[in-house]
Amino acid sequence: MKNKREWLIITALVMAIVMVVTVGMPLSVAANAREDYESAQEELNRIEKELSAIKDTKQKQQQEQKNAQTQINLVKNQLSSLNTQIAETSDALALKQAELDDKKADIKETDELFKSKLKAMYIRRNGNMVATALAVDTFSEMLTAVNTLTSISQADTALLEKLNKEKKEIEEAEAEIESKLEELEAAKELQQSKQSEYASLLQKVNQQLSETQAQESAAQAAYAEAKAERDAAAAELEKEFAASGGLDGFVGGDWKWPVPTNRYISSYYGYRNIFGYKEFHTGIDIPAPERTNIIASNSGVVTTAKYASSGYGNRIIIDHGGGYQTLYAHCYALNVKVGDFVAQGDVIAFVGSTGLSTGNHLHFEIRQNGATVNPYPYVKDN
């Protein structure tokens, strides 16, 4: 009997524990969804950073590739110009050499003529070669002979001297052209070595670039996958929040002014004229410089934190329980994510002009059971 009672107590305790655990289940599921979302977002951020680093590397390598290509084109132009100059100079050298050959032939001819003339001026007398001047019989004959000899000799010597001077000039010009040709050949050699240097540099950069591009494609695929996972986790989280009906009771307390450093309102809640049309303005507009802090007007859970194509741009919605929500639109950047529990005064975003906006300002709304209310009376004193 005593055993049976003990069993009843134990069974009751076990059942109680099971019930507590079971009732606690939805909370842990929500926590899991939030954890899933956060880790998916972290993974996405990590890949985004990696991708941005790869893009930087790629850009740098593309610049290097462009530089190498520019250098190669430059060298190519230089080489083509050098080849033209070398061809022209070689032609000039050949011309000069032909000129020199002609001149040498002239000199040889003149020299031979001169020698044969000299030979003619001598006659054989008594078995010896004697100058014609010495072979004459009268003094007057001798004078004439000497004068003739002298003038012939002078004219031929002058001609030979002139020819030799011209030959020397041609040789000097030839030497100049030869040294110019050597300079051009040296310059060509330098450009050729540069050409092979830049070609191997380009090959190296191309290799690196193709590796980087492969890394980029892999990272892009990983990014797409991580983004899909993040979006799925966000959707799951939003679904769970929607299903739970948001926070049970209103968090209570006052509503804080959402842009602590700027109090001016450029557009109030209610009807306003826009380009002659009457339009209902669903919140208040608070202008502030780009990136000014926006705070949570009250504590709550972030239920939306993303870009809306509807016109709100980057916007945040916070659920404050009891059917109350606040909305912060046109943000430059967001500082919280879906599922975050934020305390009143936490910096949740930064002023911007995203979406349908003509300048930096916060469009702030308070909603009660899905409908907007005039937020001004709520926040004006806080």
Q: How far is the CB of 198 from Zn ion (least distance, A)?
A: 58
CA distances 344 to 14, 139, 293, Å, are: 41, 144, 13
Q: Of 30-38, 214-222, 309-317, 359-367, which segment contacts Zn ion by CB under 5 A?
A: 359-367
Nearer to Zn ion, 68 or 318 (CB): 318
Nearer to Zn ion, 233 or 316 (CB): 316
Q: How far is the CB of 24 from Zn ion (least distance, A)?
A: 42
Residues in contact with Zn ion, total (CB under 5 A)?
A: 2
Nearer to Zn ion, 230 or 363 (CB): 363
> Binding of Zn ion at residue 340 (CB under 5 A)?
no
Q: Of 8-16, 92-100, 113-121, 355-363, which segment contacts Zn ion by CB under 5 A?
A: 355-363
Nearer to Zn ion, 321 or 355 (CB): 355
Q: How far is the CB of 283 from Zn ion (least distance, A)?
A: 5
Q: How far is the CB of 325 from Zn ion (least distance, A)?
A: 16
Q: How far is the CB of 47 from Zn ion (least distance, A)?
A: 35
Q: How far is the CB of 360 from Zn ion (least distance, A)?
A: 12
Q: How far is the CB of 312 from Zn ion (least distance, A)?
A: 9
- Of all residues in the chain, what percent are helix, strand and coil, respectively (each to 5)? 60, 20, 20
Nearer to Zn ion, 128 or 358 (CB): 358
- Gap between the Cα atoms of 301 and 342, Å rounded: 6
Q: Are strands 361-368 and 122-125 parallel, antiparallel or unpaired?
A: unpaired
Determine if residue 361 is left, alpha or beta; phi over 0 gives left, psi from -120 to 50 gives alpha, anything else beta. Answer: beta
Determine if residue 90 is left, alpha or beta; phi over 0 gives left, psi from -120 to 50 gives alpha, anything else beta. Answer: alpha
Q: How far is the CB of 288 from Zn ion (least distance, A)?
A: 13
- Gap between the Cα atoms of 291 and 351, Å rounded: 5
- Please identify the residue of the shown chain whose CB is closest to the bound Zn ion: 363
Determine if residue 192 is left, alpha or beta; phi over 0 gives left, psi from -120 to 50 gives alpha, anything else beta. Answer: alpha
Alpha carbon dihedral 252, 257, 258, 260, in 10-degree steps, equals: -130
- Gap between the Cα atoms of 54 and 56, Å rounded: 5
Nearer to Zn ion, 320 or 363 (CB): 363
Q: How far is the CB of 228 from Zn ion (least distance, A)?
A: 33
Nearer to Zn ion, 233 or 349 (CB): 349
In angstroms, how far is CA 208 from the centroid of its own chain?
A: 15
Strands (E) across 239-311 are located at 270-274, 277-281, 284-287, 293-295, 300-308
Q: Which helix (H) or strand (E) holds 248?
A: none
CB-side neighbour CA atoms (13 Å) of 161:
6
For residues 257 to 296, the per-residue mask of contacts with Zn ion, x marking binding by CB under 5 A and - elsewhere, is ----------------------------x-----------
- DSSP-assigned letters across all residues of 308-349: ETTTTEEEEEEEEETTEEEEEEEESEE---TT-EE-TT-EEE
Q: Of 15-23, 122-130, 236-244, 360-368, which segment contacts Zn ion by CB under 5 A?
A: 360-368
Nearer to Zn ion, 68 or 286 (CB): 286
Q: Of 210-218, 228-236, 332-340, 358-366, which segment contacts Zn ion by CB under 5 A?
A: 358-366
Q: Of 199-207, 334-342, 344-352, 357-365, which segment contacts Zn ion by CB under 5 A?
A: 357-365
Nearer to Zn ion, 285 or 340 (CB): 285
Member of 96, 103, 363, 367 binding Zn ion (CB under 5 A): 363
Point out which residues bind Zn ion (CB under 5 A). 285, 363
